[in-house]
Amino acid sequence: MKLEIDTEKKVVKADGKTLDLYSDDAFRLLSDLWVKVGWNQKYSYSFSWLGVPIIQLPEDIVRYQEAVWALQPDVIVETGVAHGGSAIFSASLCRLMGKGRVIAVDIEIRPHNRKRIEDHPFADLITLIEGSSTDASIVEQIRNGIKPGEKVLVVLDSDHSYKHVMDELEAYAPLVSKGSWIVATDGLMQDLTDAPRGRPDWDSDNPAKAARDFVAKNLEFKIEEPAWPFNESTLSGNITHWPDAWVRRAE
């Protein structure tokens, strides 16, 4: 895409089209480019939550907390632990809500990351499970940690390959409560095929495609971003690393 910004004339020229610089269309175009370049520069690797690295775009975690607050889940299941920031973030929301807990699973939880999480003030709200998120015994262990009638939200943030995410969707979707979500994060990969840190095969090997294909086969689910609870702008649609991520189970 050829892009030219003329701040004097207040226009953006992209692929032969001229947009008003201060328009919703220009905002979306520039935001998409900013997200792509920021991903390549590892912008999301520059944040922490309550002292713990959280490798997420701030816009995503703000939208996520809006959804959690509206849903008021009893259990948040997370696949992928890494440094532990996402689990701590979810646990902090549970503490603020006065309800809920986190079950976090990863194929490997490094000792220093485990210690950081277990020493954190919110550790009592987090259950760590080490093992493959798609292993039947691990899925069953998580299922056994959920009480009948509890409201469950699931976030998939481990191996982002198409096959693994599809396997996770099929394994964990049955745990998701009606009206809740299973969130297949980091589908931005589909737009990073030409980025220096990207890969050409990500055009089809990505979580967003897995989510779209999953809902095509499972009609009880649909891709539906949580509604913004507050919006005095003319904008819509998230600035995100998680396109087509929010897979919602029908009421």
pLDDT, tens digit (0-9, with 9 covering 90-100), for 47-69: 999 999 999 999 999 999 999 99
The reported pLDDT for the residue numbered 16 is: 85
The reported pLDDT for the residue numbered 221 is: 98
Does residue 79 have a pLDDT over 80? yes
H helix or E strand, kind and range, residue 234: none
Q: φ, ψ for residue 58 (rounded to 5)?
A: -55, -40
Instruction: Give tens-digit pLDDT for 116-164.
Output: 999 999 999 999 999 999 999 999 999 999 999 999 999 999 999 999 9
Mean pLDDT of 107-113: 98
Q: What whole-number distance in Å separates Cα of residue 228 and Cα of residue 170?
A: 28
CB atoms within 10 A of CB 2: 7
* Coil/strand/helix, residue 91: helix
Tokens of 197: 């840190």
Per-residue confidence band for 237, with pLDDT thresholds at 50, 70 and 90: very high
Residue 105 burial (C-beta neighbours within 10 Å; 0-12, 13-18, 19+): buried
Q: Say whether pTM exceeds 0.85.
A: yes
Tokens of 109: 């939880």
Sign, CA dihedral 174-83-212-101, equals positive
- Half-sphere exposure for 191 (CA within 13 Å, toward CB): 19
Does residue 2 have a pLDDT over 90? no
Angle, CA of 157, 36 and 246, to the nearest 5°: 40
Q: φ, ψ for residue 22 (rounded to 5)?
A: -100, 55
Sign, CA dihedral 98-148-140-162, equals negative
Q: φ, ψ for residue 129 (rounded to 5)?
A: -125, 125
Per-residue confidence band for 1, with pLDDT thresholds at 50, 70 and 90: confident
Distance of CA 226 to the CA centre of its chain: 12
Mean pLDDT of the chain: 97
Instruction: Give tens-digit pLDDT for 17-44.
Output: 999 999 999 999 999 999 999 999 999 9
| Residues forming a β-bridge with 75 | 101, 152
The reported pLDDT for the residue numbered 34 is: 97
Per-residue confidence band for 210, with pLDDT thresholds at 50, 70 and 90: very high
The reported pLDDT for the residue numbered 218 is: 98
Per-residue confidence band for 15, with pLDDT thresholds at 50, 70 and 90: confident
Mean pLDDT of 160-172: 98
